[in-house]
Amino acid sequence: MTLVEFWFMLIAVVWTGFFVLEGFDFGVGMLHGVLGGDEAGRRAAINTIGPLWDGNEVWLIVAGAAMFAAFPGWYATMFSGLYLALVLLLGALMARGISFEYRGKHDSAAWRRTWDGLMTGGSLVVPLLIGVALGDLLHGLPIDASGEYTGSFWTLLQPYGLFTGITLVAICVTHGATFIALKTEGEIHERALALARRAAPVTGLVVLGFVVWTHAIAGKGFLPNPVEIAAVLAVFAAAWLTREDREGWAFTATTIAMAAATASIFTELYPRVMVSSTNPAFDLTIHNTASGSYALKVMTIVVAIFLPVVLAYTAWTYYVFRRRLTSGEFRPKQTG
């Protein structure tokens, strides 16, 4: 394996890690109002990800930084072509992040509803937009011989890209429901399990359609690859496990489904990084967009030193905040 291939694989792993970890955060953000029932329930749902969401979001920054450093040609074309979409993405990320901090700053139901709406909307828009962007990489965008994007914002809204975004949103919903069921007790736990039982079969059908469409667009033979098969099997396994009230294993299954669905885009894309719908000769590949060998060597050394530290710290954080929550913890104490 060359360093160029290693860095493409590493970027695919980072994007996959982002959706695995932040995926259930998005799901909780979308579902907290539905599953919470009352203010105490909503606070319980939000607090399941309270110590985790901002750390999980860092993976998005790492993914962008790795693309910039390892494949500057890819980064330049993608981020300039998707400029307006990225502005919308940043707006949704900021609205969502601020809502976590500000919804409890004022004791007013209208105030909390406003921030809850921003949290729900932001948590839906972010995976939708990133899904559209990732889908467009494989489907193809108008790119000329010099690597310049020649389309408009509306060119990005292709059927496959939109369906990729919808697929990731659907997995986030099921992923978030199983996470809330895993991290809570009492009424909110039962509501999360009930929603996961209804959502998982629908998500399974969506993922099945996504896998078939992805493999057809890639044009790499009739049979889907093992990663795509794993995505479909994992979602339907989650549907069965939620009916058996095995929320821990159900969350594991949705984790695998999210990882496999995200990774399938990169496995079908390789060795390309962006497909040109103008002419296949203009495709951006890992070889014609990569940094020099010296830069890749230095970056590899840095990753070898710091990545284990980051992974260990992340694992420790999840271990420390492993306790289940209940709605009762967030209800006002009765005096007298």
Task: Give pLDDT, residue 335.
Answer: 52
What pLDDT score does 223 carry? 78
Taking phi first (over 0 means left), then psi (-120 to 50 degrees means alpha), and beta for anything else, what does residue 140 get? Answer: left
| Mean per-residue pLDDT over the chain, rounded | 93
111-167: pLDDT as tens digits: 999 999 999 999 999 999 999 999 999 999 999 999 999 999 999 999 999 999 999
CA dist 119 and 191 (Å) reads 20
| Residue 156: partners with Cβ closer than 8 Å, 6 or more residues away | 81, 82, 85, 132, 133, 136, 141
pLDDT at 115: 94
- When pLDDT is averaged across residues 163-174 and rounded to a whole number, the result is 97
Closest CA to 245 of 175, 171, 193, 198: 193
pLDDT band at 334 (very low <50, low <70, confident <90, very high): low
Percent of the chain topping pLDDT 70: 99
pLDDT-wise least confident of 14-28, 48-62, 123-137, 258-272: 48-62
Q: Can you state the angle between helices 109-139 and 3-36, rounded to 10 degrees?
A: 150
pLDDT of 228 reads: 93
pLDDT tens profile 269-326:
999 999 999 999 999 999 999 999 999 999 999 999 998 998 998 899 999 988 898 8
The answer to whether 285 touches 262, Cβ cutoff 8 Å, is: no
- pLDDT at res. 237: 96
Tens of pLDDT along 76-101? 999 988 999 999 999 999 999 999 98
Domains assigned to the chain: 3-323 (1.20.1630.10)
Cα 205 to Cα 65, 185, 224, 326: the distances in Å are 34, 29, 16, 32
Per-residue tokens: 336: 């007298």
